């Protein structure tokens, strides 16, 4: 499993979190944790099921800017 952590500066409220969650939850191969207070999204995934690039492409489609903080094996 790989854990990918993203910083989302526009993640200010539960509505923003819900909008992101709706888009990313369509990906069945990931586990998602959204932290509004820290403006971070932690995504855990199996690289044999989905690639990091595919996840980041879906994140880009949410319309929210983000910075990748880390990506590490869990």
pLDDT digits (tens, 9 = 90+) for 5-19: 999 999 999 999 999
The answer to whether the predicted template modeling score (pTM) of the entire model surpasses 0.75 is: yes
Domain count, the chain: 1
CATH number, position 39: 3.30.70.100
Query: How do residues 19-70 score in pLDDT, each as one tens digit?
Result: 999 998 888 889 999 999 999 999 999 999 999 999 999 999 999 999 999 8
pLDDT at 72: 84
Q: Do residues 41 and 32 touch, judged by C-beta distance below 8 A? A: yes
43: domain range?
2-73
Query: Using 50, 70 and 90 to split pLDDT, how confident is the model at 74?
Result: low
Transcribe 27-50 into DSSP letters.
-TTEEEEEETTTTEEEEEE-TTTS
């Amino acid at each position: 499993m790989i854990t990918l952590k993203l910083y989302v500066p526009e993640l200010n409220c539960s509505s923003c979190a819900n909008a992101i969650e709706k888009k990313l939850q369509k990906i069945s191969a990931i586990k998602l944790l959204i932290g509004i207070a820290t403006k971070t999204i932690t995504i855990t995934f199996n690289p044999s099921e989905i690639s990091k690039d595919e996840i980041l492409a879906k994140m880009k489609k949410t319309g929210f800017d983000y910075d990748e903080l880390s990506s590490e094996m869990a």
